[in-house]
């Protein structure tokens, strides 16, 4: 059975449309993407020795990645960086001073929590 190349686009065009490297698209074709604990490959065919992806297959492959993606919690490093930045801004505006900001942190949900002071008295 000979299939026509109509409705198919090259891996490099897919890469440019999605703003990823062509090797990423080829990895999706060969290895796939892990979704909900299982690997899903990007359906593709070879025409003339080059990978081609049907436009419908591409849209169904991409849709679960973009539709209603769950929000990602910031990493610890980002949380610390954001806290430090906010603290500096408040100090610059004169709202916080170095003395009253000691030991007061904000959780990711916005609740203020007291943390033990790191300084120990030497007696």
Q: What is the pLDDT along the chain (123 residues), one digit of tens a residue?
A: 345 668 899 999 999 999 999 999 999 999 988 887 788 899 999 988 899 999 999 988 887 655 444 455 667 777 888 777 888 877 787 777 666 655 555 554 555 544 555 555 555
What integer pLDDT is reported at residue 36 of this predicted model?
77
What integer pLDDT is reported at residue 1 of this predicted model?
38
The 3-class secondary structure across 64-97, one letter per residue, is HHHCCCCCCCCCHHHHHHHHHHHHHHHHHCCCCC
What integer pLDDT is reported at residue 8 of this predicted model?
92
Backbone angles phi and psi of 24, in degrees to 5: -65, -45
Q: Is 60 helix (H, G, I), strand (E, B) or coil?
A: helix
Q: Is this structure's pTM higher than 0.85?
A: no
State how far the Cα of 36 lies from the Cα of 52, in Å rounded to an integer.
Answer: 26
Give the domain ranges of the chain: 8-66, 76-113
CA-angle at 75, arms to 72 and 77, nearest 5°: 155
CA-angle at 120, arms to 118 and 123, nearest 5°: 180
């Amino acid at each position: 059975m000979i299939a026509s190349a109509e409705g198919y686009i090259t891996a490099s065009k897919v890469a440019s449309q999605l703003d990823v490297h062509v090797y990423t698209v080829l990895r999706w074709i060969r290895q796939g993407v892990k979704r909900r604990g299982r690997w899903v490959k990007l359906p593709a065919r070879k025409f003339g020795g080059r990978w081609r992806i049907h436009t419908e297959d591409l849209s169904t492959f991409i849709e679960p990645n973009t539709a209603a993606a769950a929000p990602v919690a910031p990493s610890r490093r980002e949380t610390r960086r954001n806290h430090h930045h906010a603290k500096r801004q408040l100090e610059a505006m004169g709202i916080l001073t170095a003395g009253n900001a000691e030991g007061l942190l904000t959780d990711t949900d916005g609740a203020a929590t007291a943390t033990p002071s790191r300084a120990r008295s030497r007696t």
